[in-house]
């Protein structure tokens, strides 16, 4: 966390155009209807002020007046508490703890695989894609049982899953017809939300378009 002296009237998000963690934060901001400025950050040539705000120079980084936050789960929970409507976490402590644990497991188990797929730095990307697919398939009973991951309400867990599901075609991940039917139904429910559509950058829209062209 960083405390900054120059107060800003509007939140600022330092975001990568196709960065999956930035996308997660953008969905939450859109879901809350928060006005914010975006600073697009490229992998090379990061702005100096980002390095002043965040010792790691990473995205996403959110600046809210004198506060700077740069860990995606801290950012999303901060936004949920700062703007309580609509709520994106369960009300009761036990349910909230379970939601946090699910997100932690996604990041811990899926995160390394996603980084390899995005960078192409793996000896066998097909094996990496297959491992990620196996995690997804394990969730089919959950996708089948309710509209959203935790039940009837859209939550931060869904905000974590949506950017992953959006990128599956770009990563060359294909599902069997039976698997695709369930997972795609859940995915389309997320993609059709106004907040998800508002969260997409032009580059993220192109990811999906290019994947469709390549598979046509």
pLDDT of residue 46: 87
Contact 185, 145 (CB under 8 A): no
- The answer to whether residue 71 scores a pLDDT higher than 90 is yes
How many Cα atoms occupy the beta-carbon half-sphere of 154 within 13 Å? 20
| Integer Cα distance of 57 and 160 in angstroms | 22
What band does 54 get if pLDDT is binned at 50, 70 and 90?
very high
Confidence of residue 121 (pLDDT cuts 50, 70, 90): confident
| Model pLDDT for residues 156-212, shown as the tens digit of each residue | 999 999 999 999 999 999 999 999 999 999 999 999 999 999 999 999 999 987 655
- Percent of residues, the chain, with pLDDT higher than 70: 93
Phi, psi (rounded to 5 degrees) for 120? 75, 15
Query: Does residue 29 carry a pLDDT above 80?
Result: yes
3 state DSSP class of 14: strand
How high is the mean pLDDT of the chain?
A: 92
pLDDT value for 156: 98
Crossing angle of helices 177-191/156-167, nearest 10°? Answer: 120
What integer pLDDT is reported at residue 44 of this predicted model? 81
Please indicate whether residue 122 or residue 132 has the higher confidence score (pLDDT).
132
As a whole number of angstroms, the distance between CA 91 and CA 189 comes to 23
The HSE-up count of residue 122 (CA atoms within 13 Å, CB side) is 18
Q: Please name each of the domains of the chain with its CATH number.
A: 2-82 (3.40.30.10), 93-215 (1.20.1050.10)
Q: Judge whether 102 and 157 are in contact, CB under 8 Å.
A: yes
């Amino acid at each position: 966390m960083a405390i900054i002296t120059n107060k800003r009237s509007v939140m600022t998000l330092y975001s990568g155009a196709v960065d999956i963690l930035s996308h997660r934060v953008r969905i939450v901001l859109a879901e809350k209807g928060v006005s914010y400025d975006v600073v697009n950050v490229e992998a090379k040539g990061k702005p100096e002020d980002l390095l002043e705000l965040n010792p790691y120079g990473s995205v996403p980084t959110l600046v809210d007046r004198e506060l700077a936050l740069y860990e995606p789960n801290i950012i999303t929970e901060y936004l949920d508490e700062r703007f309580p409507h609509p709520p994106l976490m369960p009300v009761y402590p036990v349910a909230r703890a379970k939601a946090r644990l699910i997100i932690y497991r996604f990041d811990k188990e899926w995160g390394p695989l996603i980084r390899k797929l995005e960078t192409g730095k793996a000896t066998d990307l097909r094996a990496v894609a297959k491992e990620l697919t196996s995690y997804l398939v394990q969730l089919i009973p959950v996708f089948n049982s309710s509209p959203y991951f935790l039940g009837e309400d859209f939550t931060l867990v869904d905000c974590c899953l949506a950017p992953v599901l959006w990128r599956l075609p770009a990563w060359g991940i294909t599902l069997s017809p039976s698997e695709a039917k369930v997972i795609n139904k859940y995915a389309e429910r997320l993609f059709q939300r106004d907040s998800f559509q508002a969260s997409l950058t032009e580059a993220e829209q192109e990811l999906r378009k290019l994947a469709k062209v390549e598979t046509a």
